[in-house]
């Protein structure tokens, strides 16, 4: 379960880092804490996280957030998050709600092995979301094949 928590944290960090485009490049996640994981059957879960975000930029709303975590290029975990509006020019705590489920073709017992291993070379992530400013202008962002070990800083 620890690896699933790490993957959630990675997803939040990656979504936040990915939103740092153009005038939003200075937005930073300053703290991240997993509050709760609620299993939803054998292959799904809901999770709640508290994030503190330092936003020197204008207000932005992140929506349509989706992440796909792959192991050796095979899909294993799908994550979505509820919309989050980041207040302008502030450092504020936000509660983010995640929903995740294992890919239908993924063997859940492989996830148990993943939780025990330290080497994360085989894990990559695809991320997509929409960033919308208060004025209504927005853009869809998509990033593919991000190595998880690079996000975690592990070798």
- In order along its 155 residues, the chain shows pLDDT tens digits of 556 666 666 666 665 555 444 555 677 878 878 788 888 988 898 988 888 889 898 899 999 999 898 988 989 889 999 999 999 999 999 999 999 999 998 887 776 666 666 667 788 889 898 988 888 888 898 989 988 776 655 54
Q: Which two tokens stand for residue 17?
A: 């880092």
DSSP string computed for 45-85 = EEEEEEEEEEE-S--EEEEEEEEEEEETTEEEEEEEE--EE
Length of the chain: 155
Q: What is the CATH number of domain 2-152?
A: 2.60.40
Burial (0-12, 13-18, 19+ Cβ within 10 Å), 145: exposed
Phi-psi region of 145 (alpha: psi -120 to 50; beta: other; left: phi over 0): left
| pTM beyond 0.75, yes or no | no
The rounded radius of gyration (Å) of the Cα atoms in the chain is: 15
Q: What is the pLDDT of residue 155?
A: 47
């Amino acid at each position: 379960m620890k690896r699933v928590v790490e993957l959630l944290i990675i997803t939040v960090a990656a979504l936040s880092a990915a939103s740092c485009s153009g005038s939003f490049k200075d937005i930073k996640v300053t703290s991240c804490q997993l509050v709760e994981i609620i299993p939803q059957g054998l292959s799904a879960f809901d999770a709640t996280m508290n994030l503190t975000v330092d936003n020197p930029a204008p207000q932005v709303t992140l929506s349509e957030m989706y992440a796909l975590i792959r192991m050796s290029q095979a899909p294993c975990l799908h994550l979505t998050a509820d919309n989050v509006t980041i207040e302008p020019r502030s450092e504020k705590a936000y509660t983010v709600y995640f929903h995740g489920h294992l890919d239908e073709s993924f063997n859940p017992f492989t996830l148990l092995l993943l939780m025990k291993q330290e080497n994360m070379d085989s894990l990559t992530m695809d991320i997509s979301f929409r960033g919308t400013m208060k004025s209504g202008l927005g853009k869809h962002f998509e990033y593919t094949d991000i190595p998880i070990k690079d996000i975690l800083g592990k070798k």
